[in-house]
Amino acid sequence: MTKVTAQLSVSLDGCYAGPHHDGAPGDWLGSAEAAGFFRVTRWVVNAGSWRERQGFAGGERDVNSDVVQEHFDAAGAYVMGRNMADGGEVPWGEEPPFRAPVFVVTHRPRPRLERKGGTSFTYVTDGVASAVAQAKAAAGGKDVAVAGGGTLMRQVLAAGLLDELELHIVPVVLGNGQRLLDERLGFGSKEGLELTPLRVLHTPDVTHVRYAVRGREPLVLDDRGRGE
């Protein structure tokens, strides 16, 4: 059965990047947003399977590499936001690392973009639910991976479309930055998102925690400590 999954590297205080960069796109690498992002994704760059997928040499063959390879192997299609797609178009080149259909959520139409290695980019203008549905149809029974960025992941979570979420928790506190899990998920004042841990893998650089997403549930008073 096709699952909709997402993964994200975060700091101990839940940030997947530093504070949002409002400057020119060309200045991003020198921004606080980039500094936070590269700190929490350092473990990925060291992973041999990630480096191989990007066409780079070297890297470690360890638990972290296995986790990355597992995500590549499981994905039959991807969903991503327009900012991520636009930002990656030039660096990914003619043979992007996805090797599967990618459905880009956007308000700006664009013809389908074909790339080498099995990657294509289809631009979906009628919402995230439509993009997920199209990705499921194209996934060939494998998973649909929500590739990001954080804004799109929040939309998928808020819409109840996500089946599994894996957080790669890095032992650093950024103190300030962009968070996936915040008030923009749109919960009521007495409502929470319930998850069930499925797997925990620990390494010195990062702890991988996979959750099944159970969905929204009301928060109720726990009065079990009261005497009769």
Residues 176-216: tens digit of each pLDDT: 999 999 999 999 899 999 999 999 999 999 999 999 999 99
Q: What per-residue confidence (pLDDT) applies to 27?
A: 85
Pairing of strands 113-114, 164-170: unpaired
Is residue 58's pLDDT more than 70?
A: yes
- pLDDT given for residue 225 in this prediction: 72
Band (pLDDT 50/70/90 cuts) for residue 140 is: very high
Residue 155 contacts by C-beta under 8 Å, 6 or more apart in sequence?
A: 105, 128
**Integer Cα distance of 200 and 193 in angstroms:** 19
pLDDT at 26: 72
Query: Residue 228: its pLDDT value, please?
Result: 61
Cα–Cα dist 81/103, whole Å:
8
Which overall architecture, per CATH, does domain 4-91+140-218 show? 3-Layer(aba) Sandwich (3.40)
- Residue-averaged pLDDT of the chain: 94
Query: Whose CA is closest to 157, among 167, 168, 171?
Result: 167
- Give residue-wise pLDDT tens across range 153-176: 999 999 999 999 999 999 999 999
d(CA 211, CA 77): 20
Distance CA 197, CA 59 (A): 29
